Structure 1
Amino acid sequence: MFVGVIFCVILVLLYFKFKNYVPILMYHRIANVPGDRNSLPEEKFEEQLKFLAENNYTTITPDMLYEHYTKHKPLPKKSVMLTFDDGYHDNYTKALPLLQKYNMKAVVFPIYNWIGKPNKWENFGKKETTTMTQEELHSWLKAGMDIQPHTLNHPFLTECKDEELEKEILNSKQGFEKLLDKPMNYLCYPYGFFDKRVIEVVKKADYKMAFAIFDNVSLWHINLFALPRIPIPSHQKMWEFKLKVSSINVIFVAMRKWERDFKRFKRKIFK
């Protein structure tokens, strides 16, 4: 009985600790590509959007999230953010019509030097596809969606030398602002990798927030320059998706973070 009460108290405390975390979902391709965990079939994506629409979820923009975290502006009760990494062509041809069908918003993070080109940066056996063109990016914006930078070339930022790091972060911001004639305030880290040095350069470049995944993020306080996101893989089950957009969404970030930390610890011990 006593143990049960303690467990309930812990759950309540964790809920109030993490209840301000807005679920930020991370997508890549909307396509049926066998063996690629980052390619979500179109029918599964529609199933997820339909669930969000039927259960009164509101998809928010990075601006709304920033205003909420910095100025405490209230968000709709069931808020969720949809993000797309890399800016694949199928985001425009497959995801956009479904987003419009269900009256949803999303932000795409394209790679500046790979706009309208084959995904040659993924030189590790990925099936070749193309990214959104400049014209398609403009159409994406006109449809009410958002675009924010994903660097110039999609490198591992933590491995970049200082000069290269500044170019990747600052030049992509300036390039997209000129290309799309809109402010670029929010960066997405390639591969989700960052460290203190990277954050310093991001702040210096006058970004307001930056999106990560689960690696190196804090679970105990909201860091605007290390916002965790929840991956949506190709094999995503609907029962799990429902939990990922619920009030316990941060648990999925925690599980992946602890898994990564354990693997690092294990490598150190047994190397």
Structure 2
Amino acid sequence: MVILLIIILLFLIYQHINKQIPILMYHRIADIPNDRNTVSPIMFEQQLQYLKKYGYTTISLQDLYHHFTLKSPLPSKPVLLTFDDGYEDNLINALPLLKKYGMTATVCIISNWIGQENNWEDYKNKPSCRTMDLAQLQEWLKQGMLICAHTVSHPFLSRLNNEEILHELASCKSTLEEQLHIPIEFLCYPYGDFDDRVKSLAKQAGYKAALGIFKGTNFWRNDLFSLKRVVISSRQPLWEFSLKVSSLHMLFIGMRILEYRIKQCRDLSLTTLLQCIFSKQGNKKDINKSN
């Protein structure tokens, strides 16, 4: 009986992860040693070559939205490529490779950082860089790429009050729409940080869906306002990338969700810890309220 239950559980997990669509999260594409968030152009090309060779097709957030809401069909092996923050090297280094392999990507733009030096980060021994300016963003769009909002100033949204959150979301949307002359219908949460309040305000601001990472997401449930992404770093070999674009990408996300929830709940008793780990948000504060 136990073996049968394990087989059924494994089958259900397989059925769930096999239906999920990998959304990859990048930042910079450049040659910067020892920076986990920067993938080299050589490594990025190897990854695109892999996707091309094994029959993957890049899709847009609009495609994904229509798939969820209208049951629109997707290619047999869809994948969605996203770049956070809108660095200039996305245009200089990533765009030619995307065009070479016939793929598209979405860049997530911070409206107050357009064409700015990266003085918001402590770069220490790393060289400075810029984000794309308006002309470069227009070129990105002209070449068939896509853009979504990444707030006005890249804050931890869950730490703000409602008025501040709505400003970050609505002002970013309206600014990008005015400057780029396109509808901005999708959002990316900075740091993958959000809660139910942020999600509600994102809907109020007029977004159709929003990208997270793993924090606050639910492994078992699809939610357009907490779309799960798998992080692509400079520290992974190609075999690991191949797993992150396969159905097994959900296991990477599941491990990150579990790790995050254990860290949030590590001071609790064993019984309450298990409650916390398997609750919707893994929120220690909410678990404490219920006990």
Superposition TM-score tier, normalisation by shorter sequence: over 0.9
| CA distance in structure 2 between the partners assigned to 1:123 and 1:173 by the alignment | 27
Amino-acid identity (%): 46
| CA distance in structure 2 between the partners assigned to 1:214 and 1:65 by the alignment | 18
Superposition pairs for residues 229-248 of structure 1, below 5 Å?
Answer: 229-248=229-248
Counterpart contact for 1:169–1:202, Cα < 8 Å: yes
- Structure 1 residues 263, 124: closer, same or farther in 2, change over 3 A? farther
| Partner residue in 2 for 1:40 | 39
Runs (4+) off by over 6 Å: none
1:133 equivalenced with 2:133 (yes/no) = yes
Counterpart contact for 1:121–1:153, Cα < 8 Å: no
Give the TM-score normalised by structure 2: 0.88
- Structure 1 residues 50, 4: closer, same or farther in 2, change over 3 A? farther
After TM superposition, the structure 1 stretch with the greater mean CA deviation from structure 2, 63-72 or 113-122, is: 113-122
Q: Which runs of 5+ in 1 are unaligned?
A: none
Counterpart contact for 2:215–2:257, Cα < 8 Å: yes
Amino acid at match of 2:154: H
- Structure 1 residues 33, 72: closer, same or farther in 2, change over 3 A? same
C-alpha displacement of 1:162 = 2.2
C-alpha displacement of 1:107 = 0.2
Matched position secondary structure for 2:173? helix
Amino acid at match of 2:228: P
| Partner residue in 1 for 2:195 | 195
1:166 equivalenced with 2:166 (yes/no) = yes
| Partner residue in 2 for 1:12 | 11
| CA deviation vs aligned residue, 1:139-164 (integer Å, no higher than 9, x gap) | 00010000011001101111112222
1:207 equivalenced with 2:169 (yes/no) = no
Counterpart contact for 2:219–2:257, Cα < 8 Å: no
| CA deviation vs aligned residue, 1:153-177 (integer Å, no higher than 9, x gap) | 1011111122221110000000011
What is the number of equivalent residue pairs in this alignment? Answer: 268
Matched position secondary structure for 2:136? helix
| CA distance in structure 2 between the partners assigned to 1:35 and 1:267 by the alignment | 33
| CA distance in structure 1 between the partners assigned to 2:206 and 2:6 by the alignment | 43
Counterpart contact for 1:121–1:154, Cα < 8 Å: no
After TM superposition, the structure 1 stretch with the greater mean CA deviation from structure 2, 34-43 or 55-64, is: 34-43
| CA distance in structure 1 between the partners assigned to 2:101 and 2:2 by the alignment | 45
Counterpart contact for 2:82–2:107, Cα < 8 Å: yes
| CA deviation vs aligned residue, 1:116-151 (integer Å, no higher than 9, x gap) | 111122247583211011101000001000001100
Superposition pairs for residues 1-271 of structure 1, below 5 Å?
Answer: 6-123=5-122, 125=124, 127=126, 128-266=128-266
Give the superposed CA RMSD. Answer: 1.6
C-alpha displacement of 1:108 = 0.2
Counterpart contact for 1:27–1:84, Cα < 8 Å: yes
| CA distance in structure 2 between the partners assigned to 1:159 and 1:126 by the alignment | 30
| CA deviation vs aligned residue, 1:213-243 (integer Å, no higher than 9, x gap) | 0011011110100001000011121111111
C-alpha displacement of 1:4 = 5.6
Amino acid at match of 1:35: N
| CA distance in structure 1 between the partners assigned to 2:146 and 2:84 by the alignment | 12
Matched position secondary structure for 2:149? coil
Matched position secondary structure for 2:36? coil
C-alpha displacement of 1:80 = 0.3
- Structure 1 residues 42, 3: closer, same or farther in 2, change over 3 A? farther
After TM superposition, the structure 1 stretch with the greater mean CA deviation from structure 2, 238-247 or 88-97, is: 238-247
| CA distance in structure 2 between the partners assigned to 1:35 and 1:233 by the alignment | 10
| CA distance in structure 2 between the partners assigned to 1:29 and 1:79 by the alignment | 22
